[in-house]
Structure 1
Amino acid sequence: QMLSLPGAMKPTATPVFIVLFGSIVFFITEIITNEESAKPRVLITHNAIPQVAIDILKDKFQTVVVKGTPNPTREELLELIPGCAAALWYGHIKVDREVVDAAGDSLKIVAHSGAGYDHIDVDYLKEKGIQCTNAANVLGPAVAEIAIALTLEVSRKTLEGYKAIITGTWLMNHATWMTGHGLSNKTVGIIGLGQNGFAIAKRLIGFEIKRLLYNDLTELEEKARAVKAEFVSKEEIFKESDFLYLCVPLDDETRFLVNKKTLSTMKNTSILINTSRGGVVNQEDLIEALQKNTI
């Protein structure tokens, strides 16, 4: 079963790892019976987790923290996971049949620290009766704020200006070199009006954009009304958007969603912001489009 963190466990200012570790306590205490004589083992697959988060587990569980820096090797994980009742999974190391089988029958839950789970064999976990959680309801605000920051960095050339100040190359006698593209009175498109897409849409309202377009599997009328968004086809959203945000999970339908064909329909002044997995974009086609000033 694929579960997202319960709403009651995600206060706005709570660090994501504290929430995730709280989710392990919440779920695994429901799964493991009181007949267990020893504290269940919990594998933590990153060695830079804040101690305050680890302390949440210590009352009820025995924590096993990897030593690999910055990420553990697959061999280390296979060595440590046998006998563990839970695993706090950080990063994109695959949770496949080999890992699950190495854990043995003791494994009851895998709690992933991110939203996307294309690297996790959810079907096999389900077959083995193992719960899986992700952080889909925790990271939306952070993703949205970073997406807006990236938008302004590219459109208003903030990084370019910063570098010019640091290196002493600011062009005082050149009136247009820092002129960028404003968000106001522009058409913005969002592909995927889910957790991240909707969070971005809410933050765009204050920029006085002209139109907000979105595309999803179906029309999301309630969300669309809240942010005054128009449902359009993929073809139209690529063609009309001055700024285009990608906020979709990576699957067979979205892989290489951005490719030579879709890029060719975009305005040559368009700015593309990808908050999804890299596989949503055909990198070779994107490089070619940038080199040819297609976008």
Structure 2
Amino acid sequence: MPGKQMSVVVTRRLPEVVETRLKELFDVELRDDDTPMTTEQLADAMGRADVLVCTITDKIDAKLLGRAGEQLKLIANFGAGVDHIDVATARQRGIHVSNTPGVVTEDTADIVIALILAVTRRMAEGIRVAQSDSWGGWAPTAMLGGRIKGRRLGILGMGRIGQAVARRAKAFGMQVHYHNRKRLRPEIEEELDATYWESLDQMVARVDILSINCPHTPSTFHLMNARRLKLMKRDAVIVNTSRGEVIDENALTRMLRAGEIAGAGLDVFERGHEINPRLRELSNAILLPHMGSATLEGRIEMGEKVIVNIKTFADGHRPPDLVVPSML
């Protein structure tokens, strides 16, 4: 199928350079405003496009896939995570799904370290004090935070991002611990100076900082539930840049309010952009608007991967970033 003839619908605004290149290569319908498509708009797009370029804000479940047209053969996801797409049902209907892995690794790892520093050094509180009229100047006991050198960092999920976090943490003098579905190869453990824990319960009870870097799957939903959160030390900090559903947000909020966990740095939330109001009120929680991968360079690289996947598919070949259910 010649690329110029392929009908491509893009569900969100993308960087201008990416949209321009898509327009040059394919018969593309771009989005004018940057709001998520409604279910009906998605169904309409899937009913007439050969390729749908979607994002994490587009929930494509079995019901919606049932309304797809026969011509829809590729869902090219702009992003690495595909938990918003029913990949198994798509495959059953002959629809391929691709993603953009590896692009956001370094950017997300940077945000993890930024959140660790921000929470342990009370940066959000410091900003509020400095911007208020009540700051009386420097004092020996004012705004005391904690030093991260020598602290134990537990990484939940040691994939690309987890390993990038480990490299940064090692440079800061932190002790790296991790839990993963599969243990890393010995040479990688040695490079990262990382200690493996087969038991997640045992690890979370011993670390000073816990970084969530695993994807959202049925097996990781509320992996950090109330019971497991209670295993953490009272002076521990939890950071999540992965998926909000991995943590029981209500339980975390209660424990932060009660001082049973010292602090949290969250870039993702269990209900998307609907953040628990009680969580917003907490001085020991730093909240970011899902900006872990938000660099211009990263977004352009994601777009380039989307284009390569579509172009390869249009030329009759397997997209290089094809997602299959066994990967999930």
Judge same fold: TM > 0.5, yes or no: yes
1:69 deviates by 4.1
Query: Does the 8 Å contact 2:155/2:177 carry over to 1?
Result: yes
**Residue 38 (structure 2) aligns with:** 73
Q: Does 1:40 align with 2:6?
A: yes
Amino acid aligned to 2:81: G
The sequence identity of aligned pairs, in percent, is 29
Query: Does the 8 Å contact 2:54/2:75 carry over to 1?
Result: yes
Structure 1: 5+ residue runs without aligned partners? 1-32
- Supply the distance in 1 between the matched residues of 2:218 and 2:16 (Cα, whole angstroms): 39
- Supply the distance in 2 between the matched residues of 1:120 and 1:106 (Cα, whole angstroms): 18
- Supply the distance in 2 between the matched residues of 1:271 and 1:235 (Cα, whole angstroms): 16
**Residue 276 (structure 1) aligns with:** 242
Amino acid aligned to 1:83: R
- Supply the distance in 1 between the matched residues of 2:138 and 2:240 (Cα, whole angstroms): 35
Structure 2: 5+ residue runs without aligned partners? 262-328
1:208 deviates by 0.9
Return structure 1 stretches of 4+ with deviation > 3 angstroms. Answer: 66-69
Higher mean C-alpha deviation, range 80-89 or range 66-75: 66-75
Query: Does the 8 Å contact 2:56/2:82 carry over to 1?
Result: no
- Residue deviations 1:118-166, cap 9 Å, x none? 1101011111222211122111111111111111111111222122222
**Secondary structure of the structure 2 residue equivalent to 1:84:** coil
**Residue 228 (structure 2) aligns with:** 262
Query: Does the 8 Å contact 2:152/2:209 carry over to 1?
Result: yes
Q: Does 1:143 align with 2:108?
A: yes
**Residue 220 (structure 1) aligns with:** 184
Map 1:242-261; keep pairs closer than 5 Å: 242-261=208-227
1:96 deviates by 2.1
Highest RCO, 1 vs 2 (Cα 8 Å, sep ≥ 6):
2
Query: Does the 8 Å contact 2:56/2:81 carry over to 1?
Result: no
**Residue 150 (structure 2) aligns with:** 185
Query: Does the 8 Å contact 1:185/1:208 carry over to 2?
Result: yes
1:282 deviates by 0.8
Match of 1:92 among 15, 39, 57: 57
- Supply the distance in 1 between the matched residues of 2:122 and 2:226 (Cα, whole angstroms): 26
Query: Does the 8 Å contact 1:45/1:71 carry over to 2?
Result: yes
Query: Does the 8 Å contact 1:115/1:135 carry over to 2?
Result: yes
1:92 deviates by 2.6
**Residue 293 (structure 1) aligns with:** 259
- What is the total number of aligned residue pairs between the two structures? 259
**Residue 163 (structure 2) aligns with:** 198
Query: Does the 8 Å contact 1:183/1:207 carry over to 2?
Result: yes
**Residue 107 (structure 1) aligns with:** 72
1:195 deviates by 1.5
1:67 deviates by 4.2
- Residue deviations 1:257-293, cap 9 Å, x none? 1122112211111000012211111112111211221
- Supply the distance in 2 between the matched residues of 1:57 and 1:101 (Cα, whole angstroms): 27
**Residue 3 (structure 1) aligns with:** none
CA RMSD of aligned residues (A): 1.8
Query: Does the 8 Å contact 1:136/1:195 carry over to 2?
Result: no
Amino acid aligned to 2:250: E
Query: Does the 8 Å contact 1:41/1:84 carry over to 2?
Result: yes
